[in-house]
């Protein structure tokens, strides 16, 4: 999980940039971008696939939000609207959209009316079920323990 969250910084450094630019990434040659993500250490265990997904997301942001990722949530009036916007992003299904909504609400103060309800169980106060709840080593350990317990319960139900 920790390596996954270094991905954007790794990509920016490999592009020789301070910040990521959705316009630049969307327009980047797909083969060269995949090669960039494949350099050792690879950004993802499936770097070619991830390169394609990142470029699709950036192209969507350029087309729908002028390349400004914050515009996705900046003027959302309700949690339901924000969830709809997040769910429309390429590579985002309901669960990822809800987790991202919970992350925005819990850690970044993005709290349109009804955000907790729209985030579902991930929006619950004091929960320890996803990255939205991680604020340090202790909460990271709690989230990992929650996920392990959930996997064990699912395995026992089979």
Is position 82 within any domain?
no
Q: Residue 81's pLDDT is what?
A: 98
Q: Give the torsion through C-alpha atoms of 47, 72, 6, 150, to 10 deg.
A: -80
Other beta carbons less than 10 A from residue 154's beta carbon: 9
Q: Residue 60's pLDDT is what?
A: 98
| List of long-range contacts for 109-114, beta carbons under 8 Å, 24+ apart | 110/73, 110/82, 112/73, 112/76, 112/77, 112/78, 112/79, 112/81, 112/82, 113/77, 113/78, 113/79, 114/78, 114/79, 114/80
Residue 1, token pair as written in the block = 């999980």
Is position 26 within any domain?
yes
Which residue range forms the structural domain that includes residue 23?
A: 1-69
Q: Residue 4's pLDDT is what?
A: 79
Other beta carbons less than 10 A from residue 116's beta carbon: 17
Q: Number of structural domains, the chain? A: 1
Q: Residue 3's pLDDT is what?
A: 78
Residue of 67, 105, 101, 71 lying closest to 86 (CA atoms): 101
pLDDT values of the chain reduced to their tens digit, one per residue, 158 residues: 777 788 999 999 999 999 999 999 999 999 999 999 999 999 999 999 999 999 999 999 999 999 999 999 999 999 999 999 999 999 999 999 999 999 999 999 999 999 999 999 999 999 999 999 999 999 999 999 999 999 998 889 88
Is position 58 within any domain?
yes
Q: Residue 5's pLDDT is what?
A: 82
Is position 20 within any domain?
yes
Is position 11 within any domain?
yes
């Amino acid at each position: 999980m920790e390596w996954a969250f270094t991905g954007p910084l790794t990509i920016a450094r490999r592009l020789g940039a301070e910040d990521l630019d959705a316009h630049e990434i969307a327009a980047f040659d797909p083969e060269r971008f995949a090669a960039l993500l494949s350099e050792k250490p690879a950004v993802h265990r499936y770097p070619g696939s991830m390169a394609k997904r990142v470029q699709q997301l950036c192209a969507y942001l350029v087309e729908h939000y002028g390349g400004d990722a914050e515009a996705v949530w900046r003027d959302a009036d309700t949690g339901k609207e924000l969830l709809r916007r997040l769910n429309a992003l390429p590579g985002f299904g309901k669960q990822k959209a809800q987790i991202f909504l919970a992350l925005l609400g819990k850690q970044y103060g993005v709290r349109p009316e009804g955000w907790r309800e729209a985030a579902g169980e991930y929006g619950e106060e004091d929960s320890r079920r996803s990255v939205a709840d991680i604020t340090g080593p202790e909460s990271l350990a709690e989230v990992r323990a929650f996920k392990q317990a959930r996997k064990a319960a699912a395995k026992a139900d089979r």
